[in-house]
Amino acid sequence: MPPTKTICLIGCAFNLCIAEGADAAETAERDLFQVGWLADETTDGFERREWLFTYRNHRRDMSWPWEESEAKDFDWGVDLRRNTGSSGDDGFEAHRFAGMLGKRFSPGLYAEVWLGNHRLDAPSRDASITTYEATVRLTAGDALDVRVQTGRDYLYREAFLPAGVTDLLAGRTHSVGLLWRPQPRLRAVGNVERRSLDDGNTGRRYAFSLLYGISPDWPWIWIGVGGEWLGYDEQRAGYWSPDDFRSVGVRLQAAFPLSERIEADASVNVDQLDESDIGTGDGQYLEAGLTYSLTPTLRLRLNAQRVNSLQAGDRWSETIYLLSLAGALL
């Protein structure tokens, strides 16, 4: 979870995926490739553009398995990304390549590792690092889903900007995510995250939500409450690193068909924020998407996200747009 996206509810993509009905999730999880373009802007002058291509030979769905996902062969994949951006008068360019190997060891245990190179060219930094992400996912029946993840990468893609772009940091992130489904209409989601930055600072984040399925099957609507806490060991002047940031509020997620080929989805968080006795206020996370099925296996998607929050007592916002083509060619 990005340290600046303070009310995005446990990495919203994970939360949305696990809340879908079986048919909708199965369709999405069978996407083998994605080509996309992303635009990211914040109110403190950060701009980023990303071009991406990702491919994998097989998709695994732990929450809604289909027959083919029981196979135990190795998975493999590639991920290519090019980023350009700026903060104030400083610009940067980055190229990232990663390859993946994964394996389902049993119907309830899957692991994968991404390993690659991330080269960053910035005003005072021209360096490559080895980037990696390892994930182990365990499903115990229909009620419990656990994800353990660790990785290292540059953090600019999360609008994490120490001293503008003159000293972009890398960091190691370790997280544990939990989904508990005691009954079909009730879901509890939790996430614990620890991030160790290259400058020696350490941040921790705890998030939770409790959702009730008004319509748990497709089309679906989930509503509930959630909150999070974020804190860093040291408060640095070059980037937002609060000692004590809290949020709590209402969560709403929905997805529904607009026509035979068009589907819509939306996610809304409305929170009360409290930052280290510096300031309080309201915050929102808003996401909306449209998916157009060109063919049964090829989908065009437009997605928009907006975060309104606080940073160091000031209002802060981020807007992201993503246009992508995804699916399977065969």
Non-local CB neighbours of 297 within 8 Å, separated by 6+ positions = 30, 327, 328, 329, 330
Res 21: pLDDT? 38
Residue 4 included in any domain: no
CB 38 within 8 A of CB 319: no
Residue 233 included in any domain: yes
Residue 80 included in any domain: yes
Residue 133 included in any domain: yes
Residue 8 included in any domain: no
Q: For each of the chain's 330 residues, which pLDDT tens digit applies?
A: 333 343 332 233 333 333 333 344 444 445 688 999 999 999 888 899 999 999 988 766 544 454 555 566 688 999 999 999 888 777 889 999 999 999 888 878 889 999 999 998 877 677 899 999 999 999 887 789 999 999 999 988 887 765 555 567 889 999 999 999 999 899 999 999 999 998 889 999 999 999 999 988 888 899 999 999 999 998 887 788 888 999 999 999 999 999 989 999 999 999 999 988 787 889 999 999 999 999 888 899 999 999 999 888 888 899 999 999 998 765
Res 247: pLDDT? 94
**Dist. CA 314–CA 27, nearest whole Å:** 41
Which pTM does this prediction carry?
0.83
CB 70 within 8 A of CB 107: yes
Res 72: pLDDT? 60
Residue 265 included in any domain: yes
Q: How many structural domains comprise the chain?
A: 1
> Which of 114, 103, 139, 68 has the alpha carbon at shortest distance from 328?
68
Question: In this predicted model, what pLDDT tens digit does every residue of 284-329 receive, in sequence order?
Answer: 999 999 999 998 888 999 999 999 998 888 888 999 999 999 987 6
**Domain enclosing residue 49, as ranges:** 13-327
Residue 3 included in any domain: no
Question: In this predicted model, what pLDDT tens digit does every residue of 232-248 receive, in sequence order?
Answer: 998 887 788 888 999 99
Residue 238 included in any domain: yes
**Dist. CA 99–CA 78, nearest whole Å:** 4
**CATH number of the domain to which 141 belongs:** 2.40.160.40
